Amino acid sequence: MDKRERVTVLGLGRMGAALAGALLAAGHPTTVWNRSAAKAGDLVARGAVLARTAAEAVRASEVVVVCVTDYDVAGDLLGPLAGELAGRALINLTSGSPEQARRSADWAAEHGIDYLDGTIMAVPQGIGQPGSVLLLSGSAEVHSGRKALIELWGDGDYLGADAGLSALYDLALLGVMWSTIASFLHGAALLGTEDVTAQQFLPKVERWLGAVASFLPGIAAQADSGDYATDVSGLDINVAGLDLLARVSRAQGIGTDVPAALHELYARRLAQGSANDGLASLIDTIRRG
């Protein structure tokens, strides 16, 4: 695929502007449109063409990227443009639910639009930088044909034809991030009661996260097999540890939201499972809800 393919970007919020900026930096003729045209100023100064309407923007390129607040906004924007989009590649990098992505893909298929859904595992400043990842699902043709273009934004991780998968992976990974950050901050607050700063705590956490990551292959294998027997660390000592963390947190004068939520889950599993079960067995309780 020609490196300098024409590309249209609909939506110039923080993320859309970063995506368009990376295209311009790589020399792609880039047409942009945004509800508030003023946000295009910087991109136009860098060579982008500002379309007067979204329809005009779509007509300018074979590849159309949309990145707006959510799928409701994307749907309202794209719905009236089905005729213009027919026969073009549409890459939707708006975050949402798997169901919304699948509905979008169905709508695109009905209108002859080649549809690739994606989620961006990066902040706008990280676009095009090492570590930026795009989770993609939907049209394999759009993915393979536009690989080089996608790589301008980050590593493209294609997950398959089901357009909903990228949204599901996105949420699963964000969950890991949210729980890790909350646990880091709980630890920082706990140590803060003894005047240890979060930055002093940080290197210990970085080292520990490496060890925790090394536990995951074994936990993943057990989660898949359903054989939870462990000679490493039983649930009982982990439940006791979480109880201790909550009690010490209270004694040090901070909240217990993070350990209390984990304690509730771990203790419920302990009540349901066998004494020999390891941490991987939590997945049964999580599945049951």
Q: Contact, 136 vs 115, CB < 8 A? A: no
In angstroms and rounded to an integer, the radius of gyration of the C-alpha atoms of the chain is: 23
Residue 77 within binding range of ligand NAP, rule CB under 6 A: yes
Q: Contact, 15 vs 93, CB < 8 A? A: yes
- What is the nearest approach in angstroms of ligand NAP to the Cβ of residue 35? 3
- Of 200, 202, 195, 196, nearest to 180 by C-alpha is 202
Residue 14 within binding range of ligand NAP, rule CB under 6 A: yes
CB nearer to ligand NAP: pick between 35 and 250: 35
Write the interaction track for ligand NAP spanning residues 18-57; mark x where CB under 6 A is met and - where it is not.
Answer: ----------------xxx--x------------------
Residue 132 within binding range of ligand NAP, rule CB under 6 A: no
- What is the nearest approach in angstroms of ligand NAP to the Cβ of residue 122? 6
Residue 124 within binding range of ligand NAP, rule CB under 6 A: yes
Residue 15 within binding range of ligand NAP, rule CB under 6 A: yes
Q: Give the binding range for ligand NAP (CB under 6 A) out of 5-13, 104-112, 207-215, 240-248.
A: 5-13
Residue 59 within binding range of ligand NAP, rule CB under 6 A: no
State how far the Cα of 122 lies from the Cα of 127, in Å rounded to an integer: 7
- The only residue of 94, 100, 139, 222 in contact with ligand NAP, by rule CB under 6 A: 94
- Of 229, 221, 211, nearest to 278 by C-alpha is 229
Residue 12 within binding range of ligand NAP, rule CB under 6 A: yes
Buried b (16+ CB within 10 A) or exposed e, 202-239: eeebeeeeeeeeeeeeebeebbeeeebebeeebbeebb
Q: Give the binding range for ligand NAP (CB under 6 A) out of 65-73, 154-162, 215-223, 228-236.
A: 65-73
Put the strands of the sheet holding 63-66 in their side by side order: 49-50, 30-33, 7-10, 63-66, 89-92, 114-121, 133-138, 155-158
Q: What are phi and psi of 238, to 5 degrees?
A: -75, -35
Q: Give the binding range for ligand NAP (CB under 6 A) out of 8-16, 178-186, 223-231, 274-282.
A: 8-16
Binding site for ligand NAP (CB under 6 A): 11-16, 34-36, 39, 67-70, 73, 77, 94-95, 120, 123-124
